Amino acid sequence: MWLDRDGYCHEPAAEALRCKPQIIASYRRGILRAKVRVHELSRHVACIDCLETPLAGAQVWLTFPGLEARGAIVEQCERFRARLRFSDPLHPAVLDALLGGRIRSFH
């Protein structure tokens, strides 16, 4: 099930960029696993559509195509749109590859 939400996160990070084309990532929290759309992405922050509303401070895992799972903490979640802060920031080259569409599909 996909949730289409065209709005931004309520407080987008100054450095976060809208993802065009949208990036599909794998989301995991506890036993819940789902594919999610990433709407904004920076080295430190991601804004995603969720199938749930995790509480602020919850630990989640995001797996981008071709990369290992990355730990993140939920900063805020409203109306199934979550803003996550990565435990370890993305490398600038990885961010450029994701935003440039050079890393886009799961194998």
Average pLDDT score, the chain:
83
Supply the DSSP string of 4-24, one letter for each residue. ---SPPSS--TT-EEEEEEEE
pTM of the predicted structure, to 2 decimals: 0.77
Quote the pLDDT of residue 19: 60
β-partners of residue 70 are 62
Residue 100 reports pLDDT greater than 60: yes
Instruction: Express the helix, strand and coil content of the chain in percent, nearest 5 each.
Output: 5, 45, 45
d(CA 57, CA 70): 16
